[in-house]
Chains A and B, each alone.
Chain A
């Protein structure tokens, strides 16, 4: 079967800049109206942080999918499949399977025991102050790494989608994205942010569905023919086999194992995902949320499989690599090939909306953690009233927003893709062991929690700093220096078992025993939902 591969002229893309901006402006206008309407009922702290716990499971599940399907996973995975074939697909599987940890072990129990933040759960039956501070530090670290990665990615996306290649123009767009994000979060709080996520997730999944259907239709709905087309265009039969990316060396194989471990165990401990479980009224709705998000995310990754091989077959790896934005341009180029400027404009606007929505979700999580865990519980020693706390949260939003803008401009063009992997590794090492131990292990103590959280956090960061992603290789952040004594780019395989071990060791060596009544209360509450935070009615 021979298929003509029409050349996608990169110059054509720039002509669509105005259209892309127009569609994006429409998205901003519509969501802004919704955010303002949704914000009318924002009165209490529960309204601001947890949307009054008034979302339904399906709504929250869609919002979770919106939070999770970042630009990195849409553009990145499609591109990875287009260039590296099977290995890109393998990458997406880790992101999906991870949700079973959230479903089976975390979501409902957390909804039943917490109030606003991850620290609420971790400090429930341990010593409040030290555990809360540790949990807040790790929350802020994960949010910061993830946020910086998103904002830095925005720069390269702009050059691709809007055809703005000069530094000043890109900086201006980053400022606009940051300012919009601050407005959404300030005005809308969690409720507004959730609606932005829901709308964005629906647009993203619908857009991907249309493109998937289109690609499959070209190949007569025969997956085997599509794969054949991809092999033919690339001229590399290994595109369908594992190993193109991760199988190069023995180190890269272990590296993938390490990455897989961090993805699977990190997802259920990402603070911005955990916080979403508080926006529903009951644990049962939290369960429904995860079920919805598993279906949406799973179906979306099946779409990216078709889109990735579709881009490999119809656009071709050489064209993709040569385009501005490189690997990330696979999905937009495929959209242009299929539906011309209009579909490209739509997909580009969705990609933008994705960055906007994800940074908004991260910002409100970080702000809530600072205001609720550090300000209210530690600085004000529990004496701050809810109004003051929300005021602090709003100010924190502005500060984080400005930091994100500055970080995005500064990191623009830097190779910071490892930051997402680092965020997952920190979540899996610093958060998950303590979450699981405090929910399921009666003996677990404060010392165990602190050793595990600080040990996991510092191990992940130190190992990354000493790895080839920071120094010692051509693709490193600092290519000139070489202090890479740790061979892997992903620290998970060392830092995650270490954090579990430290949690166990710290507990065994702790002479203090925790309050058995509190343990009983946490266990009974987590399984039955007694005394769980209720929805606020307006």
Chain B
């Protein structure tokens, strides 16, 4: 427990506004948002396009493609495929582009480079 308390104190002394304004953090924020926002809009549009087709284009959805399998079933199964694919894509993007920079910033903060009292110490902060 004593260990926990120490870490909380360390976090409390951090100048978060300064961290927020660093180029490194702005880059992390930009990478995160430029990935999750467009992708969220895309999958929501794709889902509601599917729902609207099922609601208002029953004829199209009922066209048989192969045996008893129709367009509706294929599009429905593609919703599963796209969900699994987006999941995999996000995980690989996070591992490559977000996690390394996030843990770098975290280490710098925990290494007291952004303490409120005094300027950033150490040479690694650019």
CA distance A253 to B53 in the complex (A): 11
Complex: chain B residue closest to A242, CB-CB: B54
Q: Could you tell me if B83 and A527 are in contact, using CB atoms closer than 8 angstroms?
A: no
Residues of chain A within 8 A (CB-CB) of B4 are 534
Most chain A CB within a 10 A radius of its CB, from B66, B83, B90, B110 = B83
Is there a chain B Cβ closer than 8 Å to A531's Cβ? yes
Q: Could you tell me if B19 and A524 are in contact, using CB atoms closer than 8 angstroms?
A: yes
CB distance from A477 to the nearest CB of B (A): 26
Q: Could you tell me if A97 and B79 are in contact, using CB atoms closer than 8 angstroms?
A: yes
Q: Could you tell me if B83 and A97 are in contact, using CB atoms closer than 8 angstroms?
A: yes
Q: Could you tell me if A240 and B79 are in contact, using CB atoms closer than 8 angstroms?
A: no
CA distance A238 to B61 in the complex (A): 11
The residues in A between 214 and 261 inclusive whose CB is less than 8 angstroms from any CB of B are 222-225, 227-228, 231, 238, 240-243, 246-247, 253, 256-257, 260-261
Is there a chain B Cβ closer than 8 Å to A141's Cβ? no
* Residue in contact with B76 in the complex, picked from A90, A527, A531, CB distance below 8 Å: A90
* Residue in contact with B91 in the complex, picked from A90, A257, A291, A531, CB distance below 8 Å: A291
Q: Could you tell me if A93 and B40 are in contact, using CB atoms closer than 8 angstroms?
A: no
Complex: chain A residue closest to B28, CB-CB: A527
Q: Could you tell me if A295 and B84 are in contact, using CB atoms closer than 8 angstroms?
A: yes
Q: Could you tell me if A523 and B83 are in contact, using CB atoms closer than 8 angstroms?
A: no
* Residue in contact with A242 in the complex, picked from B25, B47, B48, B55, CB distance below 8 Å: B55
Q: Could you tell me if A242 and B69 are in contact, using CB atoms closer than 8 angstroms?
A: no
The residues in A between 283 and 326 inclusive whose CB is less than 8 angstroms from any CB of B are 284, 287, 290-291, 294-295, 298, 301-302
Once A and B bind, how many residue pairs between them come within 8 Å at the CB atom? Answer: 159
Complex: chain A residue closest to B87, CB-CB: A294
Is there a chain B Cβ closer than 8 Å to A517's Cβ? yes
Complex: chain B residue closest to A229, CB-CB: B68
Complex: chain A residue closest to B42, CB-CB: A100
Is there a chain B Cβ closer than 8 Å to A101's Cβ? yes
Q: Could you tell me if A246 and B47 are in contact, using CB atoms closer than 8 angstroms?
A: no
Q: Could you tell me if A527 and B36 are in contact, using CB atoms closer than 8 angstroms?
A: no
Q: Could you tell me if A241 and B25 are in contact, using CB atoms closer than 8 angstroms?
A: no
Say whether, besides A240-B68, A242-B55, A104 and B90 are in contact (CB < 8 Å).
yes
CB distance from A200 to the nearest CB of B (A): 23
The residues in B between 41 and 100 inclusive whose CB is less than 8 angstroms from any CB of A are 43-44, 47-48, 50-52, 54-56, 58, 61-62, 66-70, 72-73, 76, 79-80, 83-84, 86-87, 90-91, 94, 98-99
CB distance from A524 to the nearest CB of B (A): 5
* Residue in contact with A86 in the complex, picked from B44, B73, B103, CB distance below 8 Å: B73
Is there a chain B Cβ closer than 8 Å to A462's Cβ? no
| Contact mask for chain B residues 21-38; partner A; CB cutoff 8 A; 1 contact, 0 none | 000010011001100100
Is there a chain A Cβ closer than 8 Å to B124's Cβ? no
CB distance from B6 to the nearest CB of A (A): 11
The residues in A between 496 and 538 inclusive whose CB is less than 8 angstroms from any CB of B are 516-517, 520-521, 523-525, 527-531, 534
Is there a chain A Cβ closer than 8 Å to B17's Cβ? yes
Complex: chain A residue closest to B82, CB-CB: A97
Q: Could you tell me if B51 and A227 are in contact, using CB atoms closer than 8 angstroms?
A: no
* Residue in contact with A524 in the complex, picked from B10, B20, B33, B40, CB distance below 8 Å: B20
Is there a chain B Cβ closer than 8 Å to A409's Cβ? no
CA distance A94 to B54 in the complex (A): 13
CA distance A260 to B106 in the complex (A): 39
Complex: chain B residue closest to A440, CB-CB: B33
Contacts A97-B47, A527-B29 supplied; 18 other A-B pairs, CB < 8 Å: A86-B76, A97-B79, A103-B90, A240-B73, A243-B54, A256-B55, A260-B47, A287-B91, A298-B84, A517-B17, A524-B19, A524-B20, A527-B25, A527-B32, A528-B28, A528-B109, A530-B11, A531-B7
15 A-B contacts (beta carbon < 8 Å):
A93-B80, A97-B79, A100-B83, A100-B87, A105-B36, A224-B66, A240-B73, A243-B58, A256-B51, A264-B44, A298-B84, A521-B16, A527-B98, A528-B25, A530-B105
- Give chain A's interface residues, CB within 8 Å of chain B: 86-87, 89-90, 93-94, 96-97, 99-101, 103-105, 222-225, 227-228, 231, 238, 240-243, 246-247, 253, 256-257, 260-261, 264, 284, 287, 290-291, 294-295, 298, 301-302, 440, 516-517, 520-521, 523-525, 527-531, 534
- For the complex of A and B, the 10 pairs showing the least CB-CB separation, nearest first, are A224-B67, A531-B11, A227-B68, A242-B54, A521-B16, A241-B62, A520-B16, A520-B20, A253-B55, A520-B17
